[in-house]
Structure 1
Amino acid sequence: MTGADRRHVLVIATQCRSMSTLAALEPAARELADALRNPSIGGCDPGLPGGESVLHGELTVPDIEAAVRTSISRAADKGATLVLALLGHGFTPGDDPTLYLMARDSKSGDRSSGVDVGRLVGEAADHTGVKGVFAIVDACDAAGAIPPASTLTIGSSSGKTRLALLMAAAVNQPAYDMAMSRRLARLMDAGLARSDPHLCLTEITLELREHITQQSITHFFYDGSDSCVPLWLSRNRHAKANMSPLGPHGTVELNTALAPLNLGGLVGPGWTLVDLYRLHQEIAQAEPGTARTRAASLVERLILAHRTAAFLRSFMPAALTGPRLRQAVAALNMAVSDDQPVGDLQTEIDAAEYVARNAPISRGACGKALTRFVVELADDAGRNLDEPELRHWATEINTLVALNDAVHDRRKRRVERQLRLIVSLHYALADDWPEQIGAWLLHDQAVYEHENFDCSGSDRPGTETALANAVDWAEDHADALGLPLRRIEVAMPTGLLLQWRPEESPYERRLGVDYDVLPRWSRWLERLPDTRRAIRSARRRLTEIASITEGCRLDWIPAGQAVEQHRLDEEFRNGVYRRGVGLLASPDRNEKLFELLLRFAPIVVWPQSASAGPEHQKRVEDSWNELPLGFLHAYRARWRDQSCDPVADLRAVWDDEEWLAFCDALLPPRGYKTRST
């Protein structure tokens, strides 16, 4: 921080033995100090040399005056602005409008026992080297804190002083329960949508007056400097340029929740985070009950969502893309929302609200879900998960432990992805069971080891035994590397794709219980003249499918149309179908049809038996970003009799860039010719 930008803060909160104890004093002081110390809000360094920014309790007059003068000298030495907050009981003696802050042993009306606030504030403003003073006085008779005019206009600085003074009450008026300080801390945290990038004295005063009516919030401002930079209290975290209105689904759900409180229809277009903070206060005044609890909980969730979205816009704006947002939400494996599929999420507001609205209702679950969402996004975008901004944001929303857990889990999954076992049955003749299978262990996408395994018989049991041997071989290498093996891809010829489910192969338990087993089409591993061209085409199709933001990503082909294979072939060649393909009826053993589909479509989905209905089509679209592993998750749940997810009725061959890159790398170099004999 440069000298011009440097800011210091000192909050003094003192109790007085001759007066009633102020229960809200210490919490209010800490809330103010926390907001002012927050780098994204107040941006202040501690005002005292020992790193202290708050002094509270039964403080003596010498304690208070010494601390304030030390903070003044420290700010002057650094060329800093000083934010000084004085909280406690106060009095103005008789007809003298001078405010005295009551220390531990002060007596009301006794000038000698109190702290002359105006004199101290004036000293700070007129001290050479101090760039300005923003003083906050929360006490009865607070308006008596205005320093003598001569101190500001003449003084040792020859009038080149800067002072913004915010006071909780008029002279001869009480101030209640630290209301101004507590509201001010919330205001700094929320910001003002209609304000400039900084919160300054005038707009703060007006905002506080809207919410505090039992006392007169007063302010005083003097600026005799030649600076064109405003004297501000805090950064406006949610200036209008960085705010987004509520999403449509959040708006509808919120109005529904507000209806029982006679607040339905209140939320409309243009509502932002600041409005949510105001609404939360209105809800708190409603009749206690289930309706109020539900509405308050939803508002709190939406507040967290919008704070998260604002953080994402500042932390990684260039990395916010529709596919990445949807993928991050899908990675949370949340319950499917009836009114908003994941595939419909287009903006960071859509995504953050979706996570917040669908998180479990248990305490802290919303913050944890949003934190996991942010970690998924950040890691996918290549951001350092140890960046201070990320940790500061998590601390702000009280999810630092959740952040640490999410980062640990993400890194663990990253390690799990380092190894992949690819097993291929492409040695089989005429789409039958093979006599031998090939196995490749990949480490960070590069082939680490390769081995072939003989089948004890050219049948399913023989192939499954060879597959188990290949897994044992890969696990031995994984142990030597100290890495877990999680992902297994099994490439099969067309005929076996239609009849065999490798995830159900025996390996103590079913192979798919402990491993993520994905079926592949082994045609891409065959060294045919057009294989590289076909792989290139598949990559283009995947890019086109990924770019779809509206509408279906699959072309669903009915049974009648599927039997017209010659026409279907022509339509594929003419570019009629440029998305993935779904079959509405089971292909049974129709290998010619299936090979045609696999040749032209990198994603093919079909019902294992019977047919696929509208519920299957909708479920595939809604859970698109969870697929293809979502199929395996559904199979596992069905094995345990825990799910009736329609996805479990479907099979899929789902190419991805990693698989196609592996296939391409195994092909001979361009121009290579096999010698004939």
Structure 2
Amino acid sequence: MAKAVRHVQVIAAQCTAMGPLSQLEKAARELHDALTDPMLGGCQARTGEYPSLLIGDDLTPQDIGKAVDTVVRQAKADGAVLVLALLGHGFTPPQRTDLYFMVRNSTTQSLRSAVDVGRLITEAADEPGIDGVIAIVDTCHAAGGVPDAGRLAGGVRAGRSRLAILTAAAADQPARDMSLSLSLARTLKDGVPGAGPALYIDRTLAETLRDQVSGQVIGRAEYDQDPFPLEGLWLARNPSNIANAHGDVVGPLGLQDLGQSVEMWRGPRRSPGRLTRSTLLELEKFIACSRVDDELDSAARAWVDDVVTALLEVFRTKEFLADVLAGSLTSDLLRSAGRLAGFPSRAEGTVPLRDLLEYAVLRAQPLDGAPWKGLARFVAALLHESGISHVDPRLQEWARRLHIVTEVNDAFGEFAEDRQRRALRLVVSLVGAWTEWPEEVDAWLLHGSADLPLHQRFPCEPGGAHGVAKAIGAAMIWARRELPYPELLEHVDIAAPAHLLARWYPEEEKVGRYLLGAKYSVIPRWSGRLDEAEDNAEINDAARKALKKKSSCAAAPVEWIDSDALLDRSALEYRLSAGQYDAVIGVDHSPDDLEEVLELLLPFAPIVLWPRSDTRPDQGQLRGLVQERWHELPDGLAAAYRHRWGAHQHGVACLGDIRTVWHDEGWLEFCRPFEYRVVTTPEEEA
């Protein structure tokens, strides 16, 4: 269960001709909830035009096709498993067993009015890059939706694909009351005792469901011709076995490194699917007693020994952290600590504590650093985020055992200093630039120890961007004078309206002798959240809720908008106002009317991304770049922009090609007084 990203599409459609299904929406929602639960199905929920849960009494075959195309593209981009569930009415034509999924205007007299289920599933499983498809079909005659193996064998992957399918009834049987979906959702939440750490579409699950559903035959089918799967095609983690599944088992990163090192030492061999602590202890004894034949054999054995030692330390450190953080160890805390330590989001894996610790000892260890330095940094980040002091005796005892007291103290000092630096910011607002450039800018100096930020207003000389740059320079001189020694200003927030954000790159303005971004971390903000607008409190409150939801996401939570979605602005605005997009919206291209697009998006999303207008990466390239480098945003943008000025290769997309407007929790707190207009200007004070 190694993949951090799994995708799901649950489709529940009513059909006018066949009559309403009273349990349809309940069954779809319960199944979707179980499949997207991080502790169960682990699939990524999706909003937007075609969300991961699509329920409707007005759906068309084209809607079904587009929804599946959307999730197939995302699963392909992530190399992920796709779970596809179809709930509703179905029929098979006379003298045939092919299942057709029915939508609003479907009839049993027209195949074109419905969706060919076998073809839909086959094309998804046959798409290169997808790690496997799990299909759940809860309709009458559901077994008719099982694809012909010949279709897969003759596909573009020449049969090298994986498919598991669960069906609600035989090909000549009706299915009643959405019994399969309701029973499956309940089973996934309750677990199956004795079924192991994960639930699969296998005999055990089928028999469990058959015991709960009568009057229809629950069926299953499997197809597996992929010689290089990333992991087993599991449907959900088994809560009945959750402690045994993760408490004492090596994770995927450890399995990978141990398998490679053992192969180098002893030659190719099949690795066990599960490695426990006791297995590692036995291997440790075997290594100690083994004979060394030559220098190459010695190096290979040393590699195995290093991996085993690292993985055994993961178990010991898990026990230490479980003791120290017994009441506060949560997935959100682990993700936050991983980001603070500089780990990529993929390091969180499916079992965050185990997988982050394995990343710390196997990937985050610098070649020239002290032993366990990567582990010291992650543990320090975790305790720092939870408010535990570096002088805690339990931490000091753990650090002394590994001889990393200095490394732990250094990490704590770095994190505390970084938090203090982030609290010190200069905010420059161009809120008065209604059409072009402003005549003056407002500046606030935010200091962690100050109750209210200092405020000053600076006039802009004529000349557009040049005049604004001189005003920013004046604001920075003012801020430096206000700072007590030895504090230094490092962070500058530039709040600008959409028409300037679309074409102006403030970090490239020369302020004094340097470009602004050469010596400062510059984050663009949208000045609309500082306007005297009645709905600012509403949009900022919505942004806070969206950011809270985003914090629980292991992978990049970006919802992408392509050129097709921008063709119908009224439909896009409706989806935005209906809350179908969450915290992070990405525009995967640079539209000609970017200003209007930003005006539309910025009130609805606290974070918006798009490529520079002078960069034309293809959609997949940009999305893949954001997915890969998400953990570096927004802090890594300052270095990325500097890199782009120098060694950037023209035509090759890099992180510096990405523009963003980023409103985090700290910025929204700064905006809070503006919602009620209690921040005063010098004129008001006079």
TM-score by length of 2: 0.58
Q: Does residue 632 of structure 1 match 2:634? A: no
Task: Indicate the residue corresponding to 1:146 in structure 2.
Answer: none
Which of 447, 467, 475 does residue 470 from structure 1 map onto?
475
- 1:577 aligned counterpart, secondary structure: coil
Find the residue that maps to 1:527 and give its secondary structure. coil
Q: Which stretch shows the higher mean deviation, 359-368 or 490-499?
A: 359-368
Distance 1:384 1:588, change over 3 A: farther
Provide the secondary structure at the position in 1 that maps to 2:457. strand
Give matches, 1:153-168, under 5 Å.
none
Query: In the alignment, which residue of structure 2 is the partner of 1:297?
Result: 306
- Give the deviation of 1:264 after TM superposition: 5.9
The one-letter amino acid paired with 1:569 is E
Q: Select 1:620's aligned residue among 626, 630, 634.
A: 626
Confirm whether residue 311 of structure 1 aligns to residue 317 of structure 2: no
CA offsets 1:143-188 (integer angstroms, 9 cap, x no match): xxxxxxxxxxxxxxxxxxxxxxxxxxxxxxxxxxxxxxxxxxxxxx
Structure 1 partner of 2:668: 660
Aligned-partner SS, 1:548: coil
Separation of aligned partners in 1, 2:401 and 2:653: 38
Where in structure 2 are the equivalents of 1:571-582 lying within 5 Å?
571-582=575-586
Q: What is the total number of aligned residue pairs between the two structures?
A: 427
Q: 1:490 aligns with which of 486, 491, 494?
A: 494
Give the superposition deviation at 1:529.
1.2
- Post-superposition shift, 1:446? 3.9
1:513 is aligned, of 498, 513, 518, to: 518
State yes or no: 1:420 paired with 2:425. yes
- Structure-2 residue corresponding to 1:328: 337
- Match runs of 1:59-208 below 5 Å: none
Question: Does 2:284 match 1:275?
Answer: no
Match of 2:544 in 1: 539
- After superposition, where does 1:165-564 map in structure 2 within 5 Å? 243-262=247-266, 268-284=272-288, 285=290, 287=292, 288-333=297-342, 341-342=346-347, 344=349, 346-360=351-365, 362=367, 364-365=369-370, 367-430=372-435, 432-444=436-448, 446-478=451-483, 480=484, 482-507=486-511, 508-549=513-554, 553-564=557-568
Alignment-derived partner of residue 220 in structure 2: none
Q: TM-score, normalised by structure 1?
A: 0.59
Secondary structure, aligned partner of 2:433: coil
Q: Which of 597, 604, 607 does residue 600 from structure 1 map onto?
A: 604
Distance 1:369 1:667, change over 3 A: same
Paired-residue identity, %: 31
Report if aligned partners of 1:579, 1:601 keep a CA contact under 8 Å in 2.
yes
CA distance 1:607–1:342, shift in 2 (3 Å): farther
RMSD between aligned residues: 2.9
Question: In structure 1, how many angstroms separate the alpha carbons of the residues matched to 2:447 and 2:351?
Answer: 34
SS of residue matched to 1:438? strand
Which has the bigger relative contact order, CA under 8 A and spacing at least 6? 2
What is the letter of the counterpart of residue 294 of structure 1?
W
CA distance 1:446–1:268, shift in 2 (3 Å): farther
Whole-Å Cα distance in 1 between the matches of residues 637 and 520 of structure 2?
A: 13
1:627 deviation in Å?
1.4
Structure 2 unaligned residues grouped into runs of 5+:
1-242, 681-686
Structure 1 CA distance for aligned equivalents of residues 411 and 653 of structure 2: 27
Give, as a single letter, the amino acid of the residue that structure 2 aligns with 1:491: A
**One-letter code aligned to 1:306:** F
Secondary structure, aligned partner of 1:664: helix
Deviation at 1:419, TM superposition (A): 1.1
Q: Secondary structure at the match of 1:317?
A: coil
- 8 Å CA contact 2:336, 2:385 repeated in 1: no
Paired with 2:291 and 2:619, the residues of 1 have a C-alpha distance of: 47
Q: CA deviation at 1:324?
A: 2.9
The one-letter code of the counterpart of 2:334 is L
What are structure 1's unaligned runs of at least 5 residues? 1-238, 673-677
Does the 8 A contact of 2:629 with 2:655 survive in 1? Answer: no
- Alpha-carbon distance in 2 for matches of 1:254, 1:394: 25
Q: Give the C-alpha shift of residue 461 in structure 1.
A: 0.5
Contact 1:417 1:487 in 2 (8 A): yes
Name the structure 1 match of 2:69: none
Q: Quote how far apart the aligned CAs of 1:570 are.
A: 1.1
Aligned to 1:98: none
* Amino acid of the structure 2 residue aligned with 1:449: L
Matched with 1:569 is: 573
Larger C-alpha radius of gyration, 1 or 2? 1
Check 1:241–1:540 CA distance in 2 against 1; reply closer, same or farther (3 A cut): closer
1:535 Cα deviation from its structure 2 partner = 1.0
Distance in 2 (CA, whole Å) between partners of 1:241 and 1:575 is 37
Paired residue type of 2:255: T
One-letter amino acid of the counterpart of residue 637, structure 2: F
Contact 1:304 1:367 in 2 (8 A): no
In structure 1, what residue type is equivalent to 2:644? R
SS at match of 1:652: strand
In the alignment, the residues of structure 1 paired with residue 282 and residue 266 of structure 2 have an alpha-carbon distance, to the nearest angstrom, of 16
2: CA distance, partners of 1:385 / 1:360: 21
Superposed displacement of residue 590, structure 1? 2.8
Separation in 1, partners of 2:386, 2:618: 36
Asked if the contact 1:356–1:366 (Cα under 8 Å) also holds between the matched residues in 2, the reply is: no
8 A contact 2:437–2:465 mirrored in 1:
yes
The amino acid of 2:674's aligned partner reads: L
Q: Secondary structure in 2 aligned to 1:441? A: strand
The 3-state SS of whatever aligns with 1:320 is: coil
Distance 1:402 1:547, change over 3 A: closer
1:599-635: CA deviation from partner (whole Å, max 9, x where unpaired): 1111111011324532332332333333111222322
Whole-Å Cα distance in 2 between the matches of residues 322 and 512 of structure 1?
Answer: 34
1:308 deviates by 2.4
Deviation at 1:668, TM superposition (A): 2.6
Q: SS at the partner of 2:591?
A: coil
Q: Structure 2 counterpart of 1:493, which letter?
A: P
Matched AA of 2:656: A
Instruction: Report if the CA contact (8 A) 1:435-1:458 is conserved.
Output: no
Q: Alpha-carbon deviation of 1:645?
A: 7.0
Cα distance in 2 for residues equivalent to 1:645 and 1:417: 29
Secondary structure, counterpart of 2:452 in structure 1: strand
> Is 1:442–1:449's contact at 8 Å kept on the other side of the alignment?
yes
Report deviation, 1:441. 0.6
Query: Contact 1:304–1:397 at 8 Å: present in 2 too?
Result: no
Retained in 2: the 8 A contact 1:628–1:654?
yes
**Which 10-residue stretch deviates more, 319-328 or 483-492?**
319-328
Find the aligned partners of 1:448 and 1:574 in 2 and give their Cα distance: 36
Shift of 1:270: 5.0
Which secondary structure does the structure 2 equivalent of 1:341 belong to? helix
